[in-house]
Structure 1
Amino acid sequence: MHIRVRLLATAVVTGVLLVGCGSSPGEDLEGWYSSGGEKSIRALSDTSGRVNEVSVRPMDVWGAACKELLTKVREAQELDAIPSENAKGFWKEALTAFEDGGNECVAGADADNQPRASAGIREVQKGISRLASTTSMIASDLKAG
């Protein structure tokens, strides 16, 4: 399931890249996407996927993957607000799940507390599905634009 969610997010991101210019709201969204949104979505997809992948390995590698994800979350939070009413809620939910889950994962890994670190990874996995929904909404808005 984890790989399918990541593949879906990657496919939707790729679909967004293929969508052309739209009208004014679409142009705003396209501007957001081309001025950092795309890069941020890809970085979050890659790093959250890495967290998901390391979750089946020994816990000593979990913390580093989660710290990397937290760095990408902070970078994404520096972007302007996403100019899509449809995607805005999913984007916020994804960032929140990645941040909360990443923090729990790091804290659990640092304390050698596997249940806490695992709970953090499960929260990151929720964020993966929210990110996929975000990219789907962006693609839909750009296509409609």
Structure 2
Amino acid sequence: MRSRVRLLTAVTAVTAVVLLAGCSSSPAEELEDWWSSGGDDRVKGLSDTSGRVNEVYGRPLDTYGPACQDLLTEVAKAKKFGTPPSENAQGFWKEALTAFEHGGGECVAGAGQNDQPRAGEGIREVQKGLSRLAAAVSMIRSDLKAK
């Protein structure tokens, strides 16, 4: 009887290990999980706030700081959430976050110091990030569609 219990326990343990090892996801499934578990929300947040930064450009300087600070908040959320598991999109994603973070920081600093040229340069960098974000999203959607 003891040998049956030991054998059953050993078989159960081996089965659990095989099942866990055999459950690895494909890159397409990982990307879909990333997208559906909040990646789409991170993209929307970045898109909305960077678009708002773009809209305040040319308006009074006091509108720059809050818009740029909101963008920096979204960048922090996106960084915490993680990079999309798409080899095609990762470079563009990182470039977008870098441009948003640096440009947003310069915008906030310039607005806080009443330095229009510095704030404007920050916004122009954010605008570059917009194109990188668009490229990343295009790659992500292409990868999702190919699934």
TM range (shorter): 0.7 to 0.9
Query: Percent of aligned pairs with the same residue?
Result: 66
RMSD: 1.0
Aligned position for 1:59? 61
Q: How many residues align?
A: 123
Among 94, 103, 128, the residue aligned to 1:92: 94
Aligned position for 2:74? 72
For 1:120 and 1:36, locate their aligned partners in 2 and report how far apart those are by CA, in whole Å: 27
Q: CA deviation at 1:37?
A: 0.6
Stretches of structure 2 that go unaligned for 5 or more consecutive residues are 1-24
For 1:79 and 1:117, locate their aligned partners in 2 and report how far apart those are by CA, in whole Å: 28
Aligned position for 2:130? 128
Stretches of structure 1 that go unaligned for 5 or more consecutive residues are 1-22
Aligned position for 2:115? 113
Q: CA deviation at 1:110?
A: 0.3
Q: Tell whether the 8 Å contact from 2:53 to 2:123 is kept in structure 1 after alignment.
A: yes
Q: CA deviation at 1:26?
A: 1.2
**Normalising by structure 2, what TM-score?**
0.81
Q: CA deviation at 1:82?
A: 1.4
Q: Deviations over 1:50-107 (max 9, x none)?
A: 0000112111110000000000000000013311000000000000000000000000
Q: Which structure is richer in relative contact order (CA contacts within 8 A, separation 6 or more)?
A: 1
